[in-house]
Amino acid sequence: MDNSIVRIPATCPMCGQEYLVGLELETISDRLATGRSIKLYCNCERHSVTWVANEVERSQIREYTAAVQFFAAEKGQRTRRWWSTTSHP
C-alpha cells in the first residue's frame, strides 16, 4: 500500500490565491481509474472551501499522479539494486 502524498497546485475559487493541496496517491489513483469525483479544498487566509475537481484540474491531477508513480517506481528499483549489490549477514 503506497501512502505517498501528491502535492497539486490549486487556486482558491473565491479569491484566486494559489496553494498546494496534498492528496493521497492511492486515493486519487483509484478515483481517476473509476471516474469518481476528486474533492479539492482551500484553507487560504480568508476562505475555507471544498469543491469537486473539474476536467482541467483532473487532467493536472492525472499528470502529477503519473509523475509521483514514476518516481516511486524508480526509487523502489534503486533500493532493490542497492540491496542486491551490498553484502548481507
pLDDT digits (tens, 9 = 90+) for 21-46: 889 989 999 999 999 999 998 887 78
Q: How far apart are CA 51 and CA 12, in angstroms?
A: 10
Q: How far apart are CA 59 and CA 35, in angstroms?
A: 12
- Report residue 6: phi and psi, to 5°: -100, 125
What is the grid cell recorded at 84?
Answer: 542486491
pLDDT at 83 over 60: no
Q: How far apart are CA 67 and CA 29, in angstroms?
A: 12
Q: What pLDDT score was predicted for residue 44?
A: 79
The pTM of the whole model exceeds 0.85: no
For the segment 58-69, the average pLDDT, to the nearest whole number, is 89
What is the grid cell recorded at 68?
Answer: 509521483
- Band of residue 82 on the pLDDT scale cut at 50, 70, 90: very low
Q: Which among 74, 64, 71, 75 has a CA at the least distance from the CA of 28?
A: 64
**Segments making up each domain of the chain, as ranges:** 5-84
Q: What pLDDT score was predicted for residue 38?
A: 94
